[in-house]
Amino acid sequence: MELEQAEFLCVRCSRHMKTCCQTCEVYVTLGDVARIEAFTGCQDFHEFRPASDRIYTDHDDDATWMRHVFRADGTRRVLKRRQSGDCTFLGPHGCRLPLEVRPLVCRIYPYDYNEQGIKEELTPGCPLELVRPGLTLIGELRMNRADAERWHRQLYEEIRREETNGQ
């Protein structure tokens, strides 16, 4: 029990349920692609696919996201997934990419956001029942709002550089 209490929340989550790294479609900006290519030396880790769930297209409060992330054919650039559904960069001990190389949307999660900024409510999905007493989800994940806001600004700068609706 003592060991379990000291484990990172994402490790405990992976024993409890499928994690975001196994179920989410991860949008990557061209900046993400460049950072990942520079770190890994690989180029074949992303593809254009239509969203498989409305959660990825239900952004009525974010015209910039809809205009710049999705191409005219309804697809967007996402990380490839293994046949199991796992992210291509998910290893036995979590993400194989260092924090500053990971896709911006991964770094920001579970903060919810739109172009205007970080929202007060977090994105649902993390198993709150696994958060240790006395901690918040953000504390348990060792995150802070200042980093999330920095990554949010970077994300929207990179999104606005995307070609619009015809890439």
Separation between Cα atoms, residue 44 and residue 48, nearest integer Å: 12
Token pair 């999660």 in the structure block, residue: 109
Helices (H), the chain: 2-6, 9-16, 20-23, 30-40, 63-69, 104-108, 137-140, 145-160
The more confidently predicted of residues 45 and 1 is 45
Which pair of structure tokens corresponds to residue 6? 């000291």
Mean pLDDT over each residue of the chain, to the nearest integer: 88
Stronger pLDDT, 34 or 131, i.e. the higher one: 34
The answer to whether residue 5 scores a pLDDT higher than 80 is: no
Q: State yes or no: pLDDT of 3 exceeds 70.
A: no
165 or 118, greater pLDDT: 118
Instruction: Give Cα separations from 4 to 25, 123, 131 (angstroms).
Output: 29, 25, 11
Confidence check: pLDDT of 167 > 70: no
SS3 61: coil
Q: How confident is the model at residue 164 (pLDDT cuts 50, 70, 90)?
A: low
Element (H, E) at 40: helix 30-40
